[in-house]
């Protein structure tokens, strides 16, 4: 007896206006060497951040520099705003979601004060990292170019 397992695919969207790049291009080795998982980064041209997938907010860091969410198929995603921005103790960020909130790619989850980050000499890349890679069969994303938030990037397929 054979069981057909249907592929569980979810669409990934650009979470912020800007230029898309692979994690390998990020200056922090924690991300560029994919120690936390695979994903992508966006160098933002605007400070409004949206959810990259349909899901539920699983965590909002007290320093507001990172937000966790879980997709409907169980993909855990970390959205990390900037490099070494934890040191700013939330100053350049305003968060609009809380743990347990359901979100879609049209949900504004945060704003980033990009000029303040520049003043503090912090890189502003937004990293989107799929942290439970053992549950993921494949990630198929377009990783270059300028895009606006809400643009379809590709899909993540779970096991």
Whether 80 is catalytic: yes
In the sheet that holds 126-130, the strands lie side by side as 102-103, 55-60, 66-71, 76-81, 126-130, 38-44, 18-22, 145-147
Classified as helix, coil or strand, 119 is: helix
Helix (H) or strand (E) holding 134: none
- C-alpha 75: how far from chain center: 12
Q: Give the total residue count for the chain.
A: 159
Catalytic residue among 80, 82, 88, 136: 80
Query: b/e for 31-64, b at 16 or more Cβ within 10 A?
Result: beebebbbbbbbbbeebebbbbbbbbbeebbeeb
Catalytic residue annotation: 80
């Amino acid at each position: 007896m054979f069981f057909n397992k249907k592929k569980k695919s979810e669409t990934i969207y650009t979470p912020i206006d800007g230029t898309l790049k692979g994690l390998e291009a990020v200056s922090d080795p924690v991300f560029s060497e994919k120690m936390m998982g695979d994903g992508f980064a966006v160098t933002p041209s605007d400070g409004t951040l949206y959810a990259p997938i349909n899901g539920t907010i699983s965590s909002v860091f007290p320093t507001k520099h990172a937000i966790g969410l879980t997709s409907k198929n169980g993909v855990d995603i970390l959205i990390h705003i900037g490099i070494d921005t934890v040191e700013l103790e939330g100053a350049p960020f305003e968060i609009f979601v809380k743990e347990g909130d359901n979100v879609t790619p049209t949900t504004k989850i945060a704003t980033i004060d990009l000029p303040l980050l520049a003043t503090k000499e912090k890189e502003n890349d937004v990293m989107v990292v799929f942290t439970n890679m053992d549950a993921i069969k494949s990630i198929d994303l377009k990783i270059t170019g300028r895009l606006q938030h809400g643009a379809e990037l590709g899909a993540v397929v779970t096991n």
